[in-house]
Amino acid sequence: MPNNQYNAIVVGGGIAGVACAAEMTLLGMRPLLVCETKEVGSTLRSCWVGSNRGIQQHPEFQVGWGGGWWYKLVRRMDIPVKLHPSHPLTATVVGDWTELDIPILPSASGITDLICAMQPAMEEIRAPLHRLIHQGLMIPYEELCDMTQVSMEEWLLEQGAEGAMVSLVLSLITNLLAVPIDDAKELSVFGGWGGLRTMVCGEGMLVVPDPDPREGLCVPIAHAVERYGGEIWRGRKVANVVTDGGRATGIVMEDGTEASAPAVAIATGNPRIPAILDPLPPEVAEAVAYSQRFVAKEDLNVYSVLEREVVKRDRLWIVMDTDGSNLQWSWPIHSYPWTTTPGKNLTAAIRTLPPGSFDSQGGIESVVTKMNEVDEHLWPGFIDAIEDYGVLQHKHHWSAPQMCGPKMPRVCESVPGLYFVGDGSIPIGGFFVESAASAGMMGAHAIKEALVPA
């Protein structure tokens, strides 16, 4: 477009921004998407250990909630994406190490049976536990998506759950979401029941794009944006959102280039919003501060190349600590053969820790050693077989959308023309990658409607 003028500018080339720009092109708009890294989808990147590709995310799509967002986008834009099913879940508890495979459980009866199998003491509360889970599963998903700011703990208490039952349900869900138990009190009803329904009841599906979520999903969607007439500026960082008379009118880049549009959509991840929005609109300050709390968590992803076959089963292992908190998740990656040197095993493990944990636990190396010790229990011979390893950490944590604190509004009332279309803005329609994609795509519709009133 002449003079860098667009219908809309989307800031941030994660899955939220890419899905937003893609949906805009399908709505007949010509967006500019700005991505500070040399290619889109940096959060979804792999960790290379030599020539082995340590895939991190298994993107979620909400198959049971209307068929999902990015999945349907891929179909509508006819993008050649190849997805492989993720591994099923297995739970185990430190000390006991007995493994319990978790099948897809659509009903409260099946879930209650599983909980009682894991913790036989729960037989005593089987009937009220079953009733409670049934209530959670019966909430229509559209209503659940509106319950992002309702506390799960308070909801459970309101339903008459006793303290022990509340703790049990919260511990179960924080394990499924791989978030620290300290965050359990912050879970929303959306995060709580949505998490269980997504991960256990089959309402969501985890997949592994070939070759990884960045190159196999985010980048192909970005190419489709360009094919459909959108523009992408790669490797260029937005310095500020430009306003004129209190209205958002465009952006200025770090190199001084300007671009203008009647709508500016932010998908940078909430913690980074203050860097490009000064002053911060009053209605978003609380939500930004809230999401910054979760960014302070320390996530550590360890990818180990094993010189021989040690992992005998393709599962996603959820390792619970003795106090019911999530210790780590561990899983094989070599099951996706393009990722791993033939004859080797490649594994991943992730821990999410409260801020300051690396210091208090003797540094990252010491945490890696502890994670390896857990993997040794899952896969005897693991430590001896380690040939090489790599670690990855992220700035943008995944849990804020599932927590009940303040959220970013889609439309910024105090700055006309400004929209929030990323993870942690509402409304949303799914979990994890899907929460970001759904926010981006709903954002595209909100902007289109504002620009061309019906």
Ligand X SMILES: Cc1cc2nc3c(=O)[nH]c(=O)nc-3n(C[C@H](O)[C@H](O)[C@H](O)COP(=O)(O)OP(=O)(O)OC[C@H]3O[C@@H](n4cnc5c(N)ncnc54)[C@H](O)[C@@H]3O)c2cc1C
Residues that bind ligand X (CB under 6 A): 11-17, 34-37, 42-44, 56-60, 237-238, 267-269, 272, 276, 299, 301, 350, 394, 396, 398, 422-423, 432-433, 435-436
Give the Cα separation of 142 and 186 in Å (integer). Answer: 21
* Residue from 24, 19, 67 nearest 40 by CA: 19
Q: Which is nearer to ligand X, 385 or 411 (CB)?
A: 411
Compare residues 237 and 293 and give the one whose CB is closer to ligand X: 237
C-beta separation of 387 from 306 below 8 A:
yes
* Residue partners of 450: CB distance under 8 A and separation at least 6: 263, 411
Cα–Cα dist 293/433, whole Å: 20
Using the minimum distance from each CB to ligand X, give the nearer residue, 16 or 305.
16
Compute the least distance from the CB of residue 176 to ligand X, in Å: 12
Q: In the structure encoding, which two tokens stand for residue 29, read together? A: 């708009």
Residue 59 Cβ vs ligand X, minimum distance, rounded to whole Å: 4
Question: d(Cα 179, Cα 37) in Å, to the nearest integer?
Answer: 27
Q: Tokens representing 26? A: 């399908």
d(CA 287, CA 357): 25
Shortest Å, Cβ 410 to ligand X: 14
Query: Minimum distance between the CB of residue 237 and ligand X, rounded to whole angstroms?
Result: 4
Q: Please tell me the distance from the alpha carbon of residue 87 to that of residue 384, in angstroms, as a whole number.
A: 25
Please say which residue, 20 or 118, places its beta carbon nearer to ligand X: 20
Strand, helix or coil at 422?
coil
Q: Measured from the CB atom, is 19 or 125 closer to ligand X?
A: 19
In angstroms, give the least distance from the CB of 253 to ligand X.
Answer: 8
* Closest CB to ligand X among residues 161, 424: 424
CA distance 282 to 351: 34
**Residue type at 168 in one-letter notation:** L
Residue 235, amino acid: G
At its nearest, how many Å lie between ligand X and the CB of residue 44? 6
- How does 419-435 read in b/e, with b if 16+ C-beta sit within 10 Å? bbbbbbbbbbbbbbbbb
Q: Nearer to ligand X by C-beta: 130 or 394?
A: 394
Rounded to a whole number of angstroms, the minimum distance from the CB of residue 169 to ligand X is: 22
